[in-house]
């Protein structure tokens, strides 16, 4: 067989290389791919929160990607953060698609954050399969600015399909997910853990945000901020 020319000379290993060498080769290849992905990513859109923009390595959320918010509390502020980000794309004239299988979404919240009712499309799928199909189709549409959804479970193959759909459509996939998914593989470009902090008021809530993953960038960290209603 002809020699594989896809790897640089220093990345090739003999047929019987020990597992450590194989793993190191894969690490180097993945690191290069993530840097390439970062360089070729689409426009970065503001999160709508200056402190969060400064906190994120890219200065916002890359369009054409999935963003995960892991939270255990409906009132944690994660949905508010997602809507702030969606609002930036709605200002460009694109709609927000909300895939709300459980009927928990409160439309006036979007209006309070500057998203016009005319730019809001709410879909309520009947089952898990319809939910994933709807998210996928909405993400693939180049006319959609952002998709907000609450998928509790996503298998690896379906997650990959959603990531490719977001890349094709060029919008944001804003996924609110339970913290139990933290150890599961993720195709999200950015993964944030969001939890409420004590000391908020009726008009403002305090949040702690932990950066769990940002593809193409190293490191993590935590941020505390106030989010107004």
Q: What is the pLDDT of residues 193-203, one digit of tens each?
A: 999 888 766 57
Q: 148 and 58, same structural domain? A: yes
The SS3 call for residue 203 is coil
Query: Given this model, what pLDDT does residue 42 score?
Result: 56
Query: Given this model, what pLDDT does residue 40 score?
Result: 41
Query: Given this model, what pLDDT does residue 22 score?
Result: 65
Is position 100 within any domain? yes
Residue numbers of the domain that contains 102:
43-228
Q: State phi, psi for 102 to the nearest 5 degrees.
A: -95, 0
Is position 27 within any domain? yes
Residue in 7, 41, 39 with CA at minimum distance from that of residue 26 = 7
Tokens of 91: 């200002």
Is position 123 within any domain? yes
**Mean of the pLDDT values across residues 173-180?**
96
Distance CA 113, CA 101 (A): 22
Residue in 217, 227, 178 with CA at minimum distance from that of residue 69 = 178
Does residue 114 surpass a pLDDT of 90? no
The SS3 call for residue 107 is helix
CATH number for the domain spanning 131: value is 3.40.50.300
Contacts of 65 (CB under 8 A, 6+ apart): 41, 42, 163, 166, 167, 172, 173, 188, 189, 190
């Amino acid at each position: 067989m002809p020699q594989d020319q896809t790897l640089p000379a220093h990345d090739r290993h003999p047929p019987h290389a020990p597992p450590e060498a194989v793993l190191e080769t894969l690490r180097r290849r993945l690191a290069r791919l993530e840097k390439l992905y970062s360089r070729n990513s689409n426009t970065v859109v503001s999160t709508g929160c200056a402190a969060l923009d400064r906190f994120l390595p890219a200065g916002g959320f890359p369009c054409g990607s999935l963003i995960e918010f892991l939270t255990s509390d409906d009132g944690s502020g994660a949905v508010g953060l997602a809507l702030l980000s969606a609002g930036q794309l709605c200002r460009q004239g694109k709609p927000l698609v909300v895939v709300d299988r459980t009927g928990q979404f409160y439309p006036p919240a979007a209006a309070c954050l500057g998203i016009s009712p005319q730019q809001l499309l709410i879909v309520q799928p009947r089952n898990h399969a319809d939910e994933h199909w709807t998210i996928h189709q909405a993400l693939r549409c180049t006319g959609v600015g952002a998709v907000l959804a609450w998928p509790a479970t996503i298998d690896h193959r379906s997650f990959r399909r959603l990531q490719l759909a977001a890349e094709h459509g060029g919008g944001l996939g804003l996924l609110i997910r339970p913290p139990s998914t933290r150890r599961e593989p993720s195709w999200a470009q950015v993964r944030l853990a969001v939890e409420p902090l004590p000391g908020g008021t009726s008009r403002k809530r305090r949040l702690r945000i932990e950066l769990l993953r940002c593809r193409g960038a190293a490191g993590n960290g935590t941020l505390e901020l106030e989010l107004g209603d």
